Structure formats: structure tokens, C-alpha cells
Structure 1
Amino acid sequence: MDRRPLLQWHCHRPPPWQPRPLRNHRRQCPLSLPRPAVHQFHQQLLSGPLPDIGRLDALKSIYLSRNRFSGSLPDSLFSKMDHLKKLWLDNNALSGAIPSSLSNATSLMELHLEGNAFSGAIPSLSIPSLRSFNVSNNKLQGLVPASLQHFGASAFEANSDLCGQPTGSVCPPAPPISPPPTAAEPTTAEPSPIAHAKSNHFALILVGIVFVVLALAVGLAFIRKRQPVRDFDSVAYRRDGLAAADAMETASVASTVVPFPGSAGQGKQLNGSGETRVGSGGGGVAGNVGGGAGAELVMVNSERETFGLADLMKSAAEVLGNGLLGSAYKAVMSGGLAVAVKRMRELTRLNKEAFDEEMKRFGRLRHPNVLTPLAYHYRKEEKLIVSDYVAKGSLLYMLHGDRGADHAALDWATRLKIVRGIARGMAYLHVELSTYEVPHGNLKTANVLLTPSFDPVLADYGLAALVNPATAANVLFSYKSPEFLQFRRVSPKSDVYCFGIVVLELLTGKFPSQYLNNTKGGTDVVQWTASAISDRREADLLDPAITSRAPPTPEMVRLLRVGSACTQPNPNERPDMKEAADLVEEIAAAVGIEGGVTSGREETASSVAPCPVGPEEYAEQSGSLHGSRAEAGHSAKGEN
């Protein structure tokens, strides 16, 4: 087997997986997002010019707030983005004119460009759906268009040269029109011979520069064509990915790679702990990777087929998304098995032996609402974690992304079924991982994946035990609970808080502001619900997608109150996870949702279908890996 591709896996490059051709394209297109729903990378310190997002004409939400993007935007950037609903580019360093092509974004609902250096006039935007607009703190000039004057003074403040309502400044009178020049007065003077010479000299220099640039471009293209694809982060994006890939640092592999299972010289070894190590040589374990880690892929689910690291290297791969923990990919191996591969860079809390034990512990989990990992690969700098690919996607995307047939299927009974499945999975984790400070640690709708029958599957659990505490506060959602924000501590009740947010998000259909790292965007579902309960108007909070099909029922209000109880500021006033799950079971029984209570311990692998992990699930709304058909809202992956 040729080991060179793996040996050439440089620490600043992803593994050499071949890009997957995009459907309806005649060639492979790196970093292409043909039909993503959300592009969310706010507060990620991204810099440079804004990428050409205009080609992503299926985008519905773009969240790039609080980065360091600079430069001007092409006037035609939004000419084909008639699906775009939410555009947040605030608090960057963008300059130049606001693109007039925004008028073509006829579905736009939210437009936030404040905190930049835009100049010139505000384009007239006659978009009936536009309900949130802000261009304050720029360098804009001229009259505020009449179609935008109803947004109030705060949307235009700190633009000293704007005038008209609602700024309070009176626009100066227009200057008189100058008469056209007469025939006796030529408009231009005849250039002198010296001017001609300078102009010709400048033109020659310009032509030379263009020629050199073109030659370099052709040369680089030729070199790239001859080289194998080695940048795994450059493979084609899925429509659910959240562009602007996070650069991942990876260690170079310094030794043996794993041959394809069943090929000559390959074998597998089942050790006493139940883990299978697929390696090279006559049944032995593969050689070492730089940093002392094993080069093999360690299988932790003995009930599933065995595959090796080499199989992943050779498989067709797609980037699914990026988050604060790392990147996620879909890989389809030669036998047709589709898996999700997460390259996680922040799991540095444990040494190799301790990490191995935790992964084996995860591999023993068996519950229909918990995604069990299949395998992992350890290196000091980062880890690969492999699990089943869940095709239907994340709950986050289904709620806030493309409102198609899947969203239409989210009626009251389906949402209650999803809440019940989440509660069961969480109750199971709180038993099996009871020694953890916080058993799940990162519960949010981006990490709830849905099977074709709308059964929820929990992903990205147990990471608090693997991530350094200082890092956990920035990347795990349970560390946004009130007790951590106030007292810097988490507990199993922090998981209960996260569960309550998910319940309220499902019932209201609102994207929680709690997912974000700043106060811009989203809805404070906790305060909103508490106020409604206090005023006895809970039914007003329910998602119209629910109440348009059936009138509010007492069970809907009961579930809303369960969500509110789980998000109480004082963790001592919240139910524990088992109590919360029991409350949900009572409501489901009253509604007549089928399916009895399961303990989880009695579940076998046969009850766990290969749980697909959806593309959009991985991104970034909240900075999670399995999350974001991205932060639709996705969404990804944002806040964290």
C-alpha cells in the first residue's frame, strides 16, 4: 500500500480525501455550497474580504457578525439571493457602498449592517417582509429612503451625513444644474505630447503587470492540477455546511497507515476490553503516529462492521461544517457505508489511556435516542471520532432552516414525540454517565439528530469530561447556564436547563438567544415564557405552525410549563432529569403518543438503527460539530 499520502498529511492540512463531485455540476468544485440553508460564523475573528456568498443563492440566513471582514462588497452580490431572509454583517470593517442588489433579496426579513464603514447613499429597499433593519454607526450620506423611514432613528444613528426623517436633519437644497457646454467652448483640452508619452508608458506597465499575474495564475493552476488533493478542508461543501472553514491544525502522520480491511497483510485484533483495533501487518496493531499515538482506527462498537483509517482516507468526503470544537465531514466508503467523521481539536484534557477508557465507555452505550460512536483515532493534537451518518439532519435545521416538507411534518404530536425521545435519551445518559460533572454538557437542537421516522438521537454528549475546563466555558452549551455565568460551576441540573431551552424552542418555534455569544439576534425564550406564564397567556407563545392545525390544548401548556421549570435561574428549583422525563411521559400518555417508557439499559444494538448524522447538523450555530444544518438561525456553530 502506498503510504505517501498519509505521510504527507501536514499539520496544517487535512487528510487527502478525494472531494465528492457535486450533483448537476460537470466538475468538482472545492468550497462550494450549492444549497446551504444557513451560513453562520459570527464572532469567529474571521478577517479579509467577504467571500463570494452571492453564488450561494439558496442561502436563507447569513450570520457573520462581529468578525473582521473588510473591503467593499460588489454591487451585484445579492442579485440572485431571492431566498435570503436574514443577513447579519454588523460589527465588521466593511466599507464602500451598500450593494443596491439587496433590493433583489425580496424575501429579506432582517438586515443588520451596523458598526461598519459603509459610505454613500442607502439604497431604496421596498421589501414588504423586512421587519428588522439597522445601518447605524457607518459613514452613510444623503436622504433616508422613504421605504425605510418607519424603522426609527436608532436604525440610522451615528451617520452624521444622513438627513431626512427619522434622523431629524434637514437635507440641504440640491445644487443648481450647470448649463451644458456650448460648441464654442470645447469640454476637453488637447493633451500635450508629454501627457501622451506618460499615458503610453503607464499602459505598457499595466499590460506587463497583467501578463505576469496571468502567467503566475496559469502556473499555479498547472501545479495544483498535477498534485493530489491533500486538503481535506477543501472538499466540496454540502448545502448544510456553514462556509468560511475554520483552519484546523493537524499533526503529521509519521508512520504506518492502516490497510483496507480484508486486503493482503491486514488483520484485526479484538482485545479483552471489547475494542477492535484495525491495523497493518499480520493481524497486529498499526505503527505509531507522531506524538506517540497509535496510527490505527480503534473500533469501539463491536456489533458493527470493521473498517480502518485507510478506508476513510480513500472514501469520498464532504465538509459538513465547522465549529469551535473542530470540523465535521461525511465519508462514504467503498462498501457504501456512510459515516460522520469529526476532527476535534479541543479534546485535550485526558492522556491517551484515559481518553481510550472514555471512548470505550461511550462505545458501550445502547439506547435508541443516543448516538453511539463507531470508532476513533487518537493523536495528541486532535482526535477523529467516527459515528453513523444521520441523513435527515438536525432538529435545529428542521425548525429554522428550509421550511419544506420536513418542517411541515412538525405538528404537535411529532414535536411531543421528539421531546419525549430527547428526555428519554437524557435520562439514560444521566444514569450511565452519572459520574460526570455534567453528563451531556452540550445539549441543543443542533446536537439532536432526527431519523426518517422523526425519532431524536443525541450527539456530542460527554465532552465536558474530555475538554479542558477553561475551553469548555467557550464551546459547551451547558456552560451558559445561569449557575455557571454567576458562580462558575455546572452540575447535572445544567443539562436540565439546556433541555428546557430545547423544549421552549420546539414549542415556540423561536431561535433562542441563549445559543448566541452576544445579545444580538434570537429570542430570550426563558424570559418570554416566564412573562407569558405570569400573565396566563401561554397559548400566545405557541408556534403558529402548531396552532394553525389544532387549537391550543392543556397538554401544550403543560409542556411549556415543564420547559419553564427546567430553565429556572436557581438550579435547586429545577427538576432533575428523571423527574423532567417522567413529566414528559405523563403528557405523552395523556395525548396518546405511542411507545412505552424504556430504561435504556435493556436496549440492544438491534433497536438502534444506523443513526444517520445530518449534514447541516455539524456546523456551527452554536459552534457544535453535530449541529448546525447549521445554525439555521441554524443557524451554525453560532454563538459557539
Structure 2
Amino acid sequence: MAFHLEIIMLILIFIALAQPSERVNAEPTQDKQALLAFLSQTPHANRVQWNTSSSACDSWFGVQCDSNRSFVTSLHLPAAGLVGPIPPNTISRLTRLRVLSLRSNALVGPIPFDFANLTSLRNLYLQNNHLSGEFPTTLTRLTRLTRLELSSNNFTGPIPFSLNNLTRLTGLFLENNSFSGSLPSITLKLVNFNVSNNRLNGSIPKTLSNFPATSFSGNNDLCGKPLQPCTPFFPAPAPAPSPVEQQQHNSKRLSIAAIVGIAVGSALFILLLLLIMFLCCRRRRRRRRAAKPPQAVAAVARGGPTEGGTSSSKDDITGSVEAAERNKLVFMEGGVYGFGLEDLLRASAEVLGKGSMGTSYKAILEDGTTVVVKRLKDVAAAKREFEARMEVVGNVKHENVVPLRAFYYSKDEKLLVYDYMAAGSLSALLHGSRGSGRTPLDWDTRMKIALGAARGLACLHVSGKLVHGNIKSSNILLHPTHEACVSDFGLNPIFANPVPSNRVAGYRAPEVQETKKITFKSDVYSFGVLMLELLTGKAPNQASLSEEGIDLPRWVQSVVREEWTAEVFDAELMRYHNIEEEMVQLLQIAMTCVSLVPDQRPNMDEVVHMIQDISRSETTDDGLRQSSDDPSKGSDGHTPPQDARTTPRSDTS
């Protein structure tokens, strides 16, 4: 009997030992078949190629499994060129799916009814497609949903009250559709909500009235807080006679004498008015002749060129520059310009931008030289202190730093002169004209900009011992080759309030909010936000983030926390091959830079080395990565152009 018990125990031990091995080698066969069925019935881009002989959990694009590889937990196919309707009985068989992202594709038709089987789903991203039909009430059965994004589709009909079944929902995005009818009273604890640009009508329920007006804009028939108050409907009164009709009616009752009196009085009034205008113009001319103000660089050439080649607005920069001080334009050592203040004041100009430190102008001198003139405001430094600071700033020389060429100081005006960068700013390149005709900013260009800006900032910190204090995408200027240069650095000490509340909004390190002191580490934080801006395509002060009450680093953390990093990245980057690993690496560097604890942030020279390490890998013709130590690469460590890596994919997303 004891012998049999020992045999049974050995068998049980063997089974127990065998189970982990089976788990490791497990493959979600049913989920794999469901995914293959979905892909076979849906036209898609070439990059979504699932090899039936390989593991779905290890090598299939956009697929993630649980730790035991027993079922699929996430399916992410954003901008993957998916075309047509979502086939039924495919995705719905992934019953333990938690995250589904099919955003930015060309999907059409209604959401399949069998999506009700996805009872474990937490996040559903279907925005930027062509889905249609009424609100998919089948989704109101997915009680574990926390985020539902259906924006920018063609959904119609009412928004159902049954949304209240989704008790865990915190984000609901239904904007840019054709939903109609009145808004239901949604009692969920929503953090994010948007139904703008639909056809909704009636009053906004009190349960939703705390959201900003932008959450409801574009619905002309909606009313109530936070929009305009609702007014009760009353029958319109009979129309009053028009002023012309009333005058005609009254004129019949006027006598001829009264008519003559009115005409004479009107003529006398007009003559008196003309006389007053003539006297005012004459007095103004006398004042101008007595004052003889100097010509000024114009803010915007509104009325065409005037005498001396300047535009009609003559007092935008130099309103009261005294004649004795006209030639006191101080050039920095090693400068390349030889003009004087007199030449600068005669230049035609246009506004490039207005910031918290002042207004920047593009000035074109008579000899064709183009420079940037920055007119500072709220300067508190005395002349000696101002000149000493400009000397420090002007001594910084680096290929990734915009050099200060000259400055001017008087009681009323403080001007700085810089080189003109024809390609504009990173902000304009990254966020301007995001329409159908826009050329996407490719990955290699973004990496080049990030590395150039990092080198420029490291130069300020290490060589110049200067804190920038105002890092933002509009202060990263570009050469035509997209070589980045840092501008507007080291100016904070000359202002009365070095860190005003409206400066570097969205880029400011959290400790600066409390101490009002900028440091090298706060610069690193701001640069980390700048890298997140390059990766996500979102400006830190973007309206959608401001409405949610979060900054860009917190938004990135919240998305990454949902188990899939790809949702963070700019959809424009999905057009390019073999860059996912580099994007994740740069994201990790950026998140280190925006650490809440300053001592946990790297120094800028360390950031430069980390970005260089990413750039030192390259793509071979067969799509494999190559180390920078490869003997075929140049000894200077720079990566040559990689056409295979930046050629847009053939999908239409």
C-alpha cells in the first residue's frame, strides 16, 4: 500500500513541476485564430504582417499577452491602414482583451453588435475613422470601460441615457460626429468629457455643467451653463416699422418750414464739424514738425513703405530714442555686421512673435541684410548691469546656439539683435498647418532637432555656466537643414520678475512654481517636456490638456500606465518603418528628465550622450539594426542618411 502511495506522490510532483514549463510555452491558440480571422477580412498596411508560424505574444505587431501568454490583453493598430467594416465574430472573440486601439484608420460602418462580448475591455480607441450608425448601445454593456473615444467619426442619432451603466468611465470623447437630440443627464464621475461639433440641442444637464464651454461648442442649439442661458419661447411680436418707414410717416406731418429749418441746421452742423477737423489736423502737423521723431522699425507693414523704406507704423520700437544716443548700438566681439542704429531704424520690419520677454521683429536693412530685433519689455536692470549681462550672453559661441550680435540700451528702449533663422521655429514646424496637405515631420528630423537642441543647452550649462530659463519649442530655431539652435537664453536676471506666471507655460519645472528660482535642473525638466512634445506632437499648453487640468508629462504617464506606450506617439510617426524602439528609448530619456525630484534628473551633457547612443544605430537594407561600431560607418560617429527608415509607408491613414 505504501508503495502505491509513493508512486502517486511522485506523479503529483512530476505534474506540478511540469506546469510552469507548459505555461512558458503556452500560446493563446483561440485568440490567435480570432486575430488571423480579423486580419484576413480587413485590408491593411504592409507593416501588419502576422506570421502564423511565430508566436502571437512575442512577435506579432500590436499584440500583447498576459505574463503567462495564455490570452491577448491588448491590440494596438493605430494608423495601420485598416480599411472597411470591422468584421463580426473576430475581435469579439478576444474575451479577455483590456485595451483595443484602432484609431486613425479608414474603418467604416457600425460597430459590431458582438463587441458586447469584450467584457474585460477597459480602454477603447476608435477615433479618427469613418464609423457610422447610431451610438453603439452594445458598448454600454462593457461595465469595466474607463475610457471611450469615438470622436471624429460619422455617428448619428441620440446619445443614450444607458451610458450611466458604465460606472467606471472617466473619459468620454464624442466630438466631431453628427449626434443629435438632447444631452442625457450623465451622473458618472467623468474627468474628461467632450461632445463639441455635433447637432445636439436643448439645455445642458446640471451634471455636466462643470465642464468648460469648449466641451459643448459647435452645437448651435445647446444652451445653459457653461454656454449662454436658455430662454423660454414666446410668439414673436408684430414687427415694428423700420426707421425709414417711420420717417416717411412722420414727414407727412411736418410743415414745409420745419423741413427747411432741419436742412439749414444740418448744413451748419456739417460745416462746423469740417472746421474742427481742419484745425485739429493743422495742430497735429505743427506738433510733428516741432518734435521731428526718428524713423522706427515697424511692427507690421500695414500701409506699404513710407519715406526711408520703413512701414507706416513708425514708433513701434524706438518711440523716444534721443538724437545723441542714435549711434550707441553695441556690437559683440567677432560680429559679422557693420550697420549702425540709424540703419536699423530705417529698416522695414514685420512682427515674428510676441512673448513674455518682448516682441521680435524681422528687420530688412537697405543693403538687404536681414536680422532679428527683439524689443524687450519690463527690464529692471540698470545700464551697467544690463551691459554686463549682455557681455556674458554674447560670449557664448556654439553651432547650436543663436548668437547675440548687438544690443542697445536707453531709458525707453532695450533692443537685442540676433541672426535671422529662415526656417523658423520648432513650434511652427511641429504644430503649424496640421492638415491634409502637410508634410509630416519625419523621425530622423525630430531626432536631429532633439540632439542639436540638447547640444546647445549643454553648451550653455557647461561652457557658459548659464541657465536658459525659458526653454520652449518657439525658442528652438532652425536652419534650412533642420539643425536646431537655442535662442533667448540667459536673459532672466535683467527682468523685474524673472519667472512670471505666463512664461514657459507647460514647460516649467514643479519646484520653480514654489521657489521662483530657475536652475540647471529646471532647464533639464523643460527640455524633457520639449522631447515629449517632439514624440507626441502635442504642445504642452494644448487646449485639450489644459481642459483636463494636467500637464504633458502627467498625460504621458497616464497613457503609458495603460500598458501600451504606442498611444503616446504622434500619429504622423506611424508612417515610418523600424523606429518603434528608438521612440521608446527617447521617451524613456524624456521621462527621466521630467522627474519630479530634481536630483534624479540627468545633467544636460549626460542627456546629449544618451541621445547620441540612440542615433548610433542604423538600418541596413534588410531592415536590421546595426551598431555604430560597424567598420562600414564613418569614424566621426554620425549616422548617414537612412532612406529606409524615413520613407513613408504606403498605407493611407
**TM-score interval w.r.t. the shorter chain?**
0.5 to 0.7
Report the equivalent of 2:24.
none
Which of the numbers 559, 564, 571 marks the counterpart of 1:532? 559
Equivalent residue runs for 1:181-580 within 5 Å: 193=253, 230=295, 232-233=297-298, 235-236=300-301, 251-255=320-324, 257-258=326-327, 296-349=328-381, 351-403=382-434, 408=439, 410-434=441-465, 436=466, 439-469=467-497, 472=500, 474-475=502-503, 480-513=508-541, 519=546, 524-550=551-577, 553-580=580-607
Local SS of the residue matching 1:255: helix
Equivalent residue runs for 1:546-625 within 5 Å: 546-550=573-577, 553-591=580-618
| Equivalent-residue separation in structure 2 for 1:401 and 1:245 (angstroms) | 30
| Equivalent-residue separation in structure 2 for 1:152 and 1:571 (angstroms) | 44
For 2:528, give the aligned amino acid: G
Local SS of the residue matching 1:513: coil
Local SS of the residue matching 2:404: coil
Task: In structure 2, list runs of 5 or more residues that go unmatched.
Answer: 1-151, 153-174, 180-195, 304-312, 620-627, 638-653
Highest Rg: 1 or 2? 2
For 2:235, give the aligned amino acid: P
TM superposition shift of 1:156: 6.9
CA contact (8 A) 2:592 2:600 kept: yes
Distance 1:256 1:366, change over 3 A: closer
| Equivalent-residue separation in structure 2 for 1:341 and 1:130 (angstroms) | 48
Local SS of the residue matching 2:199: helix
| Equivalent-residue separation in structure 2 for 1:312 and 1:163 (angstroms) | 51
Distance 1:146 1:359, change over 3 A: closer
| Equivalent-residue separation in structure 2 for 1:231 and 1:472 (angstroms) | 29
TM superposition shift of 1:232: 3.9
TM superposition shift of 1:341: 0.8
TM superposition shift of 1:220: 7.5
Local SS of the residue matching 1:558: helix
| Equivalent-residue separation in structure 2 for 1:250 and 1:544 (angstroms) | 48
Question: Residues 525-582 of structure 1, C-alpha deviation per residue, up to 9 Å, x if partnerless?
Answer: 1111111222232211111111133466111011122222212222222222122222
CA contact (8 A) 2:298 2:349 kept: no
Report the equivalent of 1:99.
none
CA contact (8 A) 2:425 2:474 kept: yes
TM superposition shift of 1:348: 2.5
CA contact (8 A) 1:464 1:472 kept: no
Question: Residues 337-389 of structure 1, C-alpha deviation per residue, up to 9 Å, x if partnerless?
Answer: 1111111123333x333332332333232211101111111224432111111
| Equivalent-residue separation in structure 2 for 1:165 and 1:515 (angstroms) | 21
Report the equivalent of 2:89.
none
Distance 1:129 1:502, change over 3 A: farther
Distance 1:523 1:410, change over 3 A: farther
Could you say which structure has the greater relative contact order, defined with CA pairs below 8 angstroms and 6 or more residues apart? 1
CA contact (8 A) 1:399 1:407 kept: no
Distance 1:506 1:216, change over 3 A: farther
CA contact (8 A) 2:178 2:198 kept: no
Report the equivalent of 2:184.
none
Question: Residues 384-416 of structure 1, C-alpha deviation per residue, up to 9 Å, x if partnerless?
Answer: 111111111111111222348996251111111
Distance 1:204 1:460, change over 3 A: farther
| Equivalent-residue separation in structure 2 for 1:253 and 1:312 (angstroms) | 15
Local SS of the residue matching 1:408: coil
TM superposition shift of 1:204: 6.5
For 2:301, give the aligned amino acid: A
| Equivalent-residue separation in structure 1 for 2:259 and 2:547 (angstroms) | 52
CA contact (8 A) 2:203 2:222 kept: no
TM superposition shift of 1:334: 2.6
Distance 1:180 1:576, change over 3 A: closer
Q: What's the Cα RMSD here?
A: 4.9
Local SS of the residue matching 1:399: helix
| Equivalent-residue separation in structure 2 for 1:130 and 1:466 (angstroms) | 53
For 1:426, give the aligned amino acid: L
| Equivalent-residue separation in structure 2 for 1:180 and 1:331 (angstroms) | 57
TM superposition shift of 1:301: 3.8
| Equivalent-residue separation in structure 2 for 1:190 and 1:311 (angstroms) | 65
Distance 1:494 1:595, change over 3 A: farther
CA contact (8 A) 1:311 1:333 kept: yes
TM superposition shift of 1:496: 0.8
| Equivalent-residue separation in structure 1 for 2:565 and 2:496 (angstroms) | 40
Distance 1:480 1:191, change over 3 A: same
For 1:590, give the aligned amino acid: S
TM superposition shift of 1:502: 0.9
For 1:460, give the aligned amino acid: D
Distance 1:424 1:198, change over 3 A: farther
| Equivalent-residue separation in structure 2 for 1:245 and 1:471 (angstroms) | 31
Report the equivalent of 1:93.
none
Report the equivalent of 2:115.
none
CA contact (8 A) 1:321 1:329 kept: yes
| Equivalent-residue separation in structure 1 for 2:472 and 2:335 (angstroms) | 28
| Equivalent-residue separation in structure 1 for 2:426 and 2:592 (angstroms) | 22
Distance 1:427 1:547, change over 3 A: same
TM superposition shift of 1:210: 6.3
Distance 1:587 1:234, change over 3 A: closer
Question: Residues 226-250 of structure 1, C-alpha deviation per residue, up to 9 Å, x if partnerless?
Answer: 9988464454169xxxxx9997785
| Equivalent-residue separation in structure 2 for 1:427 and 1:146 (angstroms) | 48
Question: Residues 263-290 of structure 1, C-alpha deviation per residue, up to 9 Å, x if partnerless?
Answer: xxxxxxxxxxxxxxxxxxxxxxxxxxxx
Report the equivalent of 1:613.
none
Aligned length: 407
Distance 1:206 1:130, change over 3 A: farther
Question: Residues 17-59 of structure 1, C-alpha deviation per residue, up to 9 Å, x if partnerless?
Answer: xxxxxxxxxxxxxxxxxxxxxxxxxxxxxxxxxxxxxxxxxxx
CA contact (8 A) 2:300 2:351 kept: yes
Distance 1:337 1:212, change over 3 A: farther
| Equivalent-residue separation in structure 2 for 1:576 and 1:388 (angstroms) | 28
CA contact (8 A) 2:330 2:407 kept: yes
For 1:421, give the aligned amino acid: G
| Equivalent-residue separation in structure 1 for 2:469 and 2:509 (angstroms) | 10
| Equivalent-residue separation in structure 1 for 2:372 and 2:400 (angstroms) | 17
TM superposition shift of 1:311: 1.6
| Equivalent-residue separation in structure 2 for 1:595 and 1:251 (angstroms) | 57
